[in-house]
Structure 1
């Protein structure tokens, strides 16, 4: 038997990240990254993104947790078949790291659920090769 959130509440999250050389100061241990998040509602219920939870890990294993309402000052409602996209940023003390987390969602039927955000890399391209 499938759970309701498996059929009605299907949110797919994908992320692309970029190093921001013009906002970074490697000599001072400051590496700035932008990340663009695409949130797709593949389910049958509209849902509002209420809150975010990020786990940010730098190359030294230092972990920072971020929790807050919405994303970039908004709590978007995403209807079935719609996509919401935004860009935000993170600053690390190392040239490589990762982020992962989840969005707290509220479906139109009143159900609260989590939309997971799979881990993604924050890295200078030169460091990866």
Structure 2
């Protein structure tokens, strides 16, 4: 698990290779990742947007941006957390992801960029 803290917002990520859904001989590797966003600040926030940089070994880095996470724009009061699971497909069994969230402080409308720490995507070819 990797973790980053930005202005009291803690982002923790754990990635898992999904061998059951992958086809290495067809260059199809499936990974899931669980993210927990904890609001350890004194302000209420809402997650508005996400931006990912997805690197696949030997290939170009892909940028993915969009509103919210898995169709949601959660509001986090101080002390609250939000956990979700999403996934990524790679053509190789080795890659990495990192990114950021844009959150709004609801008290004053200020936008903050929160770092999603870089994490590795490594296929365990013995995992079936």
From 64, 78, 81, the equivalent of 2:79 is 81
Runs of 4+ in 1 over 2 A off after TM superposition: none
Provide the aligned length of Structure 1 versus Structure 2. Answer: 120
From 18, 21, 26, the equivalent of 1:23 is 21
What TM-score comes out, normalization by structure 2 length? 0.89
What TM-score comes out, normalization by structure 1 length? 0.88
CA RMSD, aligned part only?
A: 1.5
Q: Any gaps of 5 or more consecutive residues in structure 2? A: 1-5
2:70 match: secondary structure: coil
Higher share of residues assigned strand: 2
Deviation at residue 118 of structure 1 after TM alignment: 1.1
Higher share of residues assigned helix: 1
Match of 2:56 in 1: 58
From 97, 101, 104, the equivalent of 1:103 is 101
Distance 2:125 2:118 in 1: 20
Match of 1:117 in 2: 116
Distance 2:41 2:124 in 1: 35
Structure number with the bigger relative contact order (C-alpha 8 A, sep ≥ 6) is 2
Q: Any gaps of 5 or more consecutive residues in structure 1? A: 1-5
Deviation at residue 61 of structure 1 after TM alignment: 4.2
Match of 2:47 in 1: 49
2:87 match: secondary structure: strand
